Structure 1
Amino acid sequence: MLIVETPDTHVPERDYILNVLLGEFLGQFWTRKSAERRDVRITVAGQQGELLLPDTLLNTSEEAWLTIGSLPSRPLPRWDVRQLGEAVTVVEQIVPVIYGEAQPGIQRSQNNLRLPIDIFGSAFFMLSRYEELVVQDPDEHDRFPAWASLAYQEGFLERPIVDEYVEILWEAMRTLWPDLGRSKREPRTRVTCDVDSPFCFDGSVRRMVRRAGGDLLKRGSPGGAARTVVGSWLARRGDHRLDPHRNGLEFIMDVNEQVGRSVGFYFIAEKTDPRFDKPVSLDDPRIRSLFREIHARGHEIGLHPGYNTYRHPEAMAQSVETLRRVMADEGIEQAQIGGRQHFLRWETPTTARLWDENSLDYDSTLSYADRPGFRCGTCREYPLYDLEERRGLRLRERPLIVMECSVIADRYMALGYSNEALALMERYREICYQFGGDFSLLWHNSHLDSAADKRFYRRLVA
């Protein structure tokens, strides 16, 4: 049993982060005691030794809490973890110190060890998305962008800093108490698909002409233009064999089934914005048939709440009700229902609270549209925290690590289908696996039109 002595400040936040890091991530039994001290002290019942850590963020005054003044001082200090030992699992040996000592260094004696990082406060900062409630610098879709984040500005968005901190904490604990054991997780790849457009051809002559023109003028593909015209004509008669978006769904299932993997398909249930929501009604016979096929093949159906649901309770509740009703109508039962916000629109902590209030089990929104990486600082699933109501939620976050558009699209990193793009995505997978985490990948079915799309996808997931 770990005994954790802390100051008597921000108790709900302390109990939450201790439970996530010590309980969920390391599998330890622990108890917290309030004490008159300025740091955090960890001991093991019945054993010698103490581990001390700085206590910065969670010792912030109530007046300064959630203000600019409580954000980390920049530039962040760096610390060489080799002072602790050579065996610590980290992406790089030099780690940024979000909160902690200004001049980091380790202090040790025979039975005592002091780390220079406020591990619990720093992890809380990342997992709760603390900065997103403080820094108001949204993009054109009212999203918190990568470039506004501490991780991007300080150059650690590409590393799961919370997972690295947990490994540092574990190495310190193992040094003091070698008999401690920890829980282990097997790494895995989670593949998901946001079904923004289940069908390319909807019977619209205007859309057919526009797409065929793009095939000819933009993509230089007369064959593609011919397939568009024929496919649109067939779709008007209920035949979708040449529909690239419908075929994209089939392709995703086929490729992942070859490696025994189930995929999560997330659907827009209600139109909430005429510009950005283009769903097909879930009551459409084509969608009902698609639901039945996805379920019969062992894949998951989830929710992709529309553009204007992220901060509107009624729109969110209606979307959830519609999805549940259609699944019930089709006799589809799942152990969990989760999903991802359309356009990755997210307001901390409002959106998480809406998901929680509607009894959804998990969300997988938290990545940045403009950059892949570790927005939450972890590649592990964890329970979210409501910073305004000061409570942990039942809702769990499955952090999204890579969305294909972030890497490939011209409006973001613009790497296209290059070897550099593939190497970047594979590197993120390697890092996730290094920490026993989940490589969570989003690939839209509407981005599997070309042979290059499919070749790249197959190399990445199969």
Structure 2
Amino acid sequence: MNMQLLIYTPENTPRLKYTFALFFEHIISVPYRITNDNEEYANWQGPKLNYSSGITEKDPFSINPSGLLFQSGISPQKISISEWNGLKIFFPSASGNLPFDIFSAAFYLVSRYEEYFDRPLDCHARFQAVSSLAYQNQFLEQPLVNFWAMQLKKELLKQYPMLAFKEAVYTYTPTIDIDVAYAHLGRTAAVTAGGYLRMLLKLNTKGILEKTAVLLGTKQDPYDTYSYQEAVIKKYKLSPIYFFLASSIRSHYDRNINPGGKTFAALVKKANGFAQIGIHPSYQSASRADVVKSEVANVERCLTYKITKSRQHFLRVRLPETYRCLAELNITDDYSLAYAQAPGFRASICTPFPFYDLRAEKTLPVIIHPPAVMDGTLNEYMNMSPGDAEKAIERIIAQVKYCRGEFISIWHNHSLSERDNWENWKEVFENMVKWAAS
């Protein structure tokens, strides 16, 4: 008997190919093949799945399609939420082995279909968590697509116990954004002078004394938490990624140190000693390939390899422009698809997956690694105490471990400074790393 899962469908569309690959290559890996041949399907002496409206009693396993995967273009979809086995579902079906079209529902969530419609954006032109189906139906903190895939695997094994699924492995990737590398070091003379002037006008004597001591080398820069980060990360033998903001032009939201200076180069090289280095496209880049290219060059001059990883500053993702820009620049992995306003899973998945461009109806060569937790979300947006933040982080980690996905955390060097509104957050970071790495 052939151990390959044969999937029959009347039409092999780009959406359908993408979604079957998502399930059977990325989440619940198993050998499979798609056919449009009725006769081949009927004569197949092995596991098979009928994904068509022509379901009969002779089909050993079938899923009735809602039609979304056979469409092209973007149009409003009727979404009605119900429950099955304790999980939220939509695109219901009255026939087949599952009570809903699992493939269309997953495609809707993972492709971020809802983000292509006009919705109220926040002040940074970002799609808001509160506008999402996941938030409105209380499954934002659940990687729902992974849970669906696990149920599909369970049902398939009931019918075909001989199917050989490859077990997924849980991983943890800590990531650090370097928005402002140092509080005082690494600025041009003009920027440093401007900083002194602002402090003088505000009569900030304490700030003036601190800046002077740091610049004279008699005091450590308060944002210089890199040796501490390295120690925590090495303790658990992790492979972190550091994303550097490298805009040559300063703006209100792009305020990192001079990327052309020695201080910046030294820090990139230091981080490269224990981490992978990625680009943090600036706020002002707005998915413009020429601007991002120049910022990548600013970081690559400090390295001996090409940058292939990225995360948008302020998590400013525009669909599909952001991913088209990254693909044009040969950036293969992105870590931006999260909400700044709430923790959880923006695409309802905790497994890395390729980006599907709904406007072009094709898969782009960019793998999305969905972050689930960010320091600023918990502290600055949600005003959580360190204790409540730890509880939220524990819940998220437990979900990802159960699904054997990839847990990705976003932290910043300045949030480990134990100053301003970040007192006692070092312990949150340490506990998160300990729990996620164990």
1:261 to 238, 242, 245: 238
Q: Distance in 2 between matches of 1:283 and 1:45?
A: 64
Q: Distance in 1 between matches of 2:246 and 2:331?
A: 14
Aligned residue identity for 1:442: I
Match of 1:90 in 2: none
Q: Distance in 2 between matches of 1:446 and 1:73?
A: 42
Q: 1:446-461 alignment to 2 at 5 Å?
A: 446-450=414-418, 452-461=424-433
Match of 1:87 in 2: none
Match of 1:234 in 2: 213
Match of 1:77 in 2: 82
- Is 2:399 the partner of 1:431? yes
Gap runs ≥5 in structure 2: 49-58, 186-191
8 Å contact kept, 1:272–1:309: no
Cα offset for 1:12?
0.5
Q: Which moved more, 1:287-296 or 1:306-315?
A: 306-315
Q: 1:90-101 alignment to 2 at 5 Å?
A: 94-101=86-93
- Is 2:64 the partner of 1:54? yes
Name the SS for the 2:169 alignment partner: coil
Name the SS for the 1:244 alignment partner: coil
Inter-CA distance 236–348: structure 2 relative to 1 (3 Å threshold)? same
Cα offset for 1:61?
4.8
Inter-CA distance 254–57: structure 2 relative to 1 (3 Å threshold)? farther
Cα offset for 1:407?
1.1
Inter-CA distance 42–265: structure 2 relative to 1 (3 Å threshold)? farther
Cα offset for 1:307?
0.3
Match of 1:26 in 2: 28
- Equivalenced residue count is 407
Q: Deviations over 1:282-303 (max 9, x none)?
A: 221011111221122x211110
Q: 1:238-387 alignment to 2 at 5 Å?
A: 239=217, 241-246=219-224, 248-271=225-248, 274-296=251-273, 298-327=274-303, 332-333=304-305, 337-387=308-358
Inter-CA distance 282–211: structure 2 relative to 1 (3 Å threshold)? farther
Match of 2:410 in 1: 442
Match of 2:56 in 1: none
Aligned residue identity for 1:243: D
- Is 2:96 the partner of 1:118? no
Percentage identity across aligned positions? 24
Name the SS for the 2:343 alignment partner: coil
Match of 1:156 in 2: 139
Q: Which moved more, 1:451-460 or 1:363-372?
A: 451-460
Aligned residue identity for 2:416: L
- Is 2:11 the partner of 1:8? yes
- Is 2:378 the partner of 1:407? yes
8 Å contact kept, 2:8–2:34: yes
Cα offset for 1:229?
4.6
8 Å contact kept, 2:16–2:70: no
Compute the RMSD of aligned alpha carbons: 2.5
Match of 2:124 in 1: 141
Name the SS for the 1:51 alignment partner: coil
Q: Distance in 1 between matches of 2:232 and 2:350?
A: 24
Q: 1:165-244 alignment to 2 at 5 Å?
A: 165-202=148-185, 203=192, 204-206=195-197, 228-237=207-216, 239=217, 241-244=219-222
Q: Distance in 1 between matches of 2:308 and 2:25?
A: 24
Aligned residue identity for 1:54: N
8 Å contact kept, 1:132–1:348: yes
Aligned residue identity for 2:32: W
Q: Distance in 2 between matches of 1:268 and 1:278?
A: 9
Name the SS for the 1:114 alignment partner: coil
Q: Distance in 2 between matches of 1:181 and 1:302?
A: 36
Q: Distance in 2 between matches of 1:241 and 1:23?
A: 52
8 Å contact kept, 2:289–2:326: no
Cα offset for 1:402?
0.4
Q: Distance in 2 between matches of 1:42 and 1:377?
A: 35
Q: Which moved more, 1:16-25 or 1:50-59?
A: 50-59
Name the SS for the 2:138 alignment partner: coil
Aligned residue identity for 2:302: V
2:74 to 53, 66, 75: 66
Q: Distance in 1 between matches of 2:110 and 2:102?
A: 12
8 Å contact kept, 1:273–1:307: no
Cα offset for 1:441?
0.4
Q: Distance in 1 between matches of 2:43 and 2:253?
A: 53
Cα offset for 1:245?
1.1
